[in-house]
């Protein structure tokens, strides 16, 4: 298996996944539009906050807009391209992994790309609006913004995948996986710089929301190539960690006898 054939396979998976997610087109468009509106309305809370207060420990409305844009891009990318990650735990518990294990390639990519949520397109569309319009960043900064936000998306996908793999060891923890995911998102969309040292350490490692929102924002704010590189490094490390945890978990997987559904 060459790198070229692997890339072709991943591209084909992504194409099929997104095409399936966009059907029916009317519902997909409505979902995307309303998600865009949802993001703009949520931003109003911060507009009101900064209309009352000059800053939040040095952060202004523009920084918040950039943070929300990062989260939107990362989350949008995750649910559009790898929407299966949200349902991994349920799939594993139901024995649905059989369908992916029967294929000649590694099961993780096809499992992640087994679903696509069209609402994520609304997130992807709103991120550049937040960066350029609300945060006042220039068009020349867009490549850097997209680079670090994409790395944040990889960290998000990988972290959620690790959380969902919990059910390999705790089969009754499907609800807990969903709660952990919600907690992760909830922490990511609020500024994290006011936290103390210990909490921030936690947010950079075990519960890496800082790598999804705080560090990417700081990389652009400070125009710091080291922070941007750290983001790319974090994406590689967390992706590798997710693959490792998934493979460890697979050893404990018991077939659900759903191989007959494979086609």
Site for other proteins in 141-180 (CB under 8 A): 172, 175-176, 178-179
Task: Tell me whether residue 58 or residue 233 sits nearer to other proteins (CB atom).
Answer: 58
Contact between residue 81 and residue 14 where contact means Cβ atoms under 8 Å apart:
yes
Q: Which of 160, 187, 215, 216 binds other proteins (CB under 8 A)?
A: 187
- Enter the tokens of residue 12: 């084909």
Residue 56 sits in the site that holds other proteins (CB under 8 A)? yes
Binding footprint of other proteins, residue count (CB under 8 A) = 36
Q: Which of 172, 214, 201, 206 is nearest to 58 (CA)?
A: 214
How far apart, in Å, do the first and last CA atoms of the chain sit?
A: 22
CB of 4 to other proteins, least distance (A): 39
| Residue labelled with tokens 């391209």 | 81
Radius of gyration of the CA atoms of the chain, in A:
19
Dist. CA 247–CA 254, nearest whole Å: 13
CB of 85 to other proteins, least distance (A): 18
Q: How many residues does the chain have?
A: 263
Q: Which of 14, 22, 38, 221 binds other proteins (CB under 8 A)?
A: 38
Residues that bind other proteins (CB under 8 A): 24, 27, 30-31, 33-35, 37-38, 41-42, 44-45, 48-49, 51-57, 119, 172, 175-176, 178-179, 182-183, 186-187, 190-191, 194-195
């Amino acid at each position: 298996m060459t790198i070229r054939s692997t890339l072709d396979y991943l591209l084909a998976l992504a194409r099929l996944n997104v095409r399936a997610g966009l059907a029916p087109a009317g519902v997909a468009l409505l979902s995307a539009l309303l998600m865009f509106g949802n993001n703009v309305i949520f931003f109003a809370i911060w507009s009101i906050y900064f209309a009352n207060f000059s800053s939040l420990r040095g952060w202004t409305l523009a920084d918040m807009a950039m943070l929300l844009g990062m989260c939107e891009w990362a989350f949008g990318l995750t649910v559009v391209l790898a929407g299966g990650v949200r349902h991994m735990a349920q799939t594993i518990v139901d024995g649905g992994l059989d369908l992916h294990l029967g294929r000649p390639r590694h099961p993780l990519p096809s499992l992640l790309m087994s679903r696509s949520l069209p609402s994520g397109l609304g997130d992807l569309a709103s991120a550049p609006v937040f960066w350029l319009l609300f945060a006042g960043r220039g068009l020349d900064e867009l490549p850097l913004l997209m680079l670090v936000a994409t790395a944040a998306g990889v960290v998000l996908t990988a972290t959620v995948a690790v959380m969902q793999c919990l059910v390999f060891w705790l089969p009754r923890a499907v609800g807990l996986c969903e709660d952990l995911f919600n907690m992760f998102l909830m922490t990511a969309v609020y500024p994290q710089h006011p936290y103390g040292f210990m909490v921030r350490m936690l947010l950079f490692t075990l519960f890496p929301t800082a790598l999804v929102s705080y560090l990417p924002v700081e990389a652009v704010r400070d125009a710091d190539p080291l922070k941007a590189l750290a983001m790319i490094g974090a994406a590689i490390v967390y992706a590798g960690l997710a693959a490792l945890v998934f493979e460890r978990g697979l050893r404990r997987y018991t077939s659900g006898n759903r191989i007959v559904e494979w086609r």
